[in-house]
Structure 1
């Protein structure tokens, strides 16, 4: 059974847990985590967010750790305990919890273990809880200077806490999608998906000097939000998105981004995992680049860990000759929030970037089950759980 790192002690905490039933999460009492290794820290969570990746677990299509396990891999909090081997953090420090779990000096890859059941991280728990144990905390947490920014014009303090939550995953992931695509200032960009990651990709492209950014989705509220930051909304239910973009960019766009992943839908709103790559190949100009940061899981019949995984098919056939003669480059994978932290933290701390603009709902943890259901129905853009 997962959650075995939580030592059975008298103190308990509230946590959001997936128990193996599709379209259902619960808020339960769990033992509070304790220091296990001297390189651990305990973080008292202040904010946590519900991510689109959490929906793969929620729907029962993510092949990961056996249930039950705590959910959530985005959050901000304060260090409440440190092991004797932690040298760069002290109790009370505000920190971002990145979705990647550091594995110590013997492992260079920070993306193989993640919170909340992804990778082999199910035993660690998730950020959607009052407390979280963080292994190798010196390298596994992102310190932040302050949770407020003073506007130099008005001298008013502005909370940055929701902005910093986005650095746990989606702001870094949106930013990395452009790196995977080979983005350069002045490029035109098509972002497929206007969920939280897609909006962060579009926002990052605008911050980094894109000439035109196209945001492709079918949910009106998302497209309106994309338009509000300067992107050009493309509703793929109105007409073929490739035709819509090529009508504006006859030679295609320089960069395209897949911000959705394996549960993407076609114009009939039926799951079809090859729609976006085909659109990217059709809309990207010769010599252009493509970036994929939407999650693609292994096909599986493992009903113990993913009851509905067999409903999704991620093996895709496309023409390598088209790819070759298109002279495309294609990068894919998770982001590395810790590596991106120096530049992204500075952008937020200086007031130059405000990724928290996508937050539509701030809730109490007890409201999490209904928030998951609303997120699944596209009735909310980004949900943040407030603990303080």
Structure 2
């Protein structure tokens, strides 16, 4: 089959690889109908995530048709399903608490050592996202093996277009959990750093959870315009000083809750960010946390900080004093997708949540390397790239 594979920093290729096969009784094999490039994939593209190996198949946002099943799968051939990015066994201590992204059993033991060294515990399994998270082949391919298929995938009703439900695989539940972690109360003012896919879904989710005002912060004009369509007020951090603007907009109090949907590669020519970039380029540091620093400092006293943005290593100049002295609550973590899928699918079906607005480009799988380049280099114009394995490559 054909698949997008990683070969190094800014080097993604379309290769011919072996077709997946049933390995365990609970496996299923999917023929991919739609798969997307995620903002988190750009961390792989930029070489920030360790333990990638040449030839690894990328992709953790995908859906497709079931073409084969093991005897322990609850899926049936011919069903259309969306698959969560995180792999969960459904029976361990963490899954019993519906903390599916912390599953203890889906990352093979020989991949656990680095996770224990970095974080104190091993990582769960994730599709297409390094050997730190299991080394599983991803879904940016014609076919994919889905382990524990009786736990993760959600069956999609006939007649529902892929574009409407594809983002149940990751970014929609991630934006929803980001807003849930912000513990939004009716009348709240919520500030969201980053108007990428997760940030935009967090904006929608915050309003649905009762926020009175949502303030979206970014520097890409088109993404800020998308946030405005859902009723958000906006701050372009290249045109205004974010902290000062937020104080003015909130009467000097600060937002009740803040959401960092940026993660470890913050943009902007700010002194702390420049220092972070220098440290990262000289291997003296890893993550650039300007957005998170700014969110903590701007949040009102007694407020809540939600951090869906991906971080991977040690950070410098973390405003721990502000977090403590202001009595802030910080919640974060990979998304427990399986917990949210039934309700979110219903919300999408009833048009309570819009998803298709995000897609700016639909491309064949063979054009995947160009899709990565575009999403990386043209973030104002390219908000989401969806790859279709059955789409013909333009002449």
1:115 corresponds in structure 2 to 127
1:105 corresponds in structure 2 to 91
For residue 119 of structure 1, report the CA deviation from its aligned partner: 5.9
Deviations 1:291-343 (A, max 9, x none): 00111012xxxxxxxxxxxxxxx413344443223121010111111111121
For residue 224 of structure 1, report the CA deviation from its aligned partner: 1.3
TM-score of the superposed pair, with normalisation by structure 2: 0.84
In 1, the alpha carbon distance for the partners of 2:131 and 2:231 equals 36
Q: Note if 1:55 corresponds to 2:42.
A: yes
In 1, the alpha carbon distance for the partners of 2:355 and 2:324 equals 36
Q: 2:298 pairs with 260, 269, 283, which one? A: 283
Task: Point out the more displaced range, 270-279 or 178-187.
Answer: 270-279
Q: Where do 1:39-118 residues align within 5 Å? A: 39-86=26-73, 88-103=74-89, 105-106=91-92, 108-109=94-95, 110-111=100-101, 112-118=124-130
SS at match of 2:238: coil
Deviations 1:82-118 (A, max 9, x none): 11111x2100111111100123534635321101134
In 2, the alpha carbon distance for the partners of 1:72 and 1:385 equals 10
For residue 387 of structure 1, report the CA deviation from its aligned partner: 2.6
SS at match of 2:23: coil
SS at match of 1:31: coil
SS at match of 2:169: coil
Unpaired runs of at least 5, structure 1: 1-12, 149-158, 299-313
Cα pair 2:57 2:138 within 8 Å, conserved? yes
For residue 229 of structure 1, report the CA deviation from its aligned partner: 1.8
In 1, the alpha carbon distance for the partners of 2:132 and 2:65 equals 25
1:337 corresponds in structure 2 to 337
TM-score of the superposed pair, with normalisation by structure 1: 0.85
Q: Where do 1:236-251 residues align within 5 Å? A: 236-250=237-251, 251=253
Pair 361,248 (structure 1): closer, same or farther in 2 beyond 3 Å: same
CA RMSD, Structure 1 to Structure 2 (Å): 1.8
Number of matched pairs: 348
SS at match of 2:25: coil
In 2, the alpha carbon distance for the partners of 1:329 and 1:337 equals 22
1:126 corresponds in structure 2 to 138
Deviations 1:35-78 (A, max 9, x none): 11111000111100000000000011112343320111001111
Cα pair 1:65 1:122 within 8 Å, conserved? no
For residue 211 of structure 1, report the CA deviation from its aligned partner: 0.8
Unpaired runs of at least 5, structure 2: 102-123, 278-287, 391-395
Pair 206,264 (structure 1): closer, same or farther in 2 beyond 3 Å: same
In 1, the alpha carbon distance for the partners of 2:159 and 2:125 equals 28
For residue 141 of structure 1, report the CA deviation from its aligned partner: 1.2
For residue 122 of structure 1, report the CA deviation from its aligned partner: 5.1
In 1, the alpha carbon distance for the partners of 2:341 and 2:25 equals 25
2:256 corresponds in structure 1 to 254
Cα pair 2:42 2:376 within 8 Å, conserved? yes
In 1, the alpha carbon distance for the partners of 2:168 and 2:340 equals 9
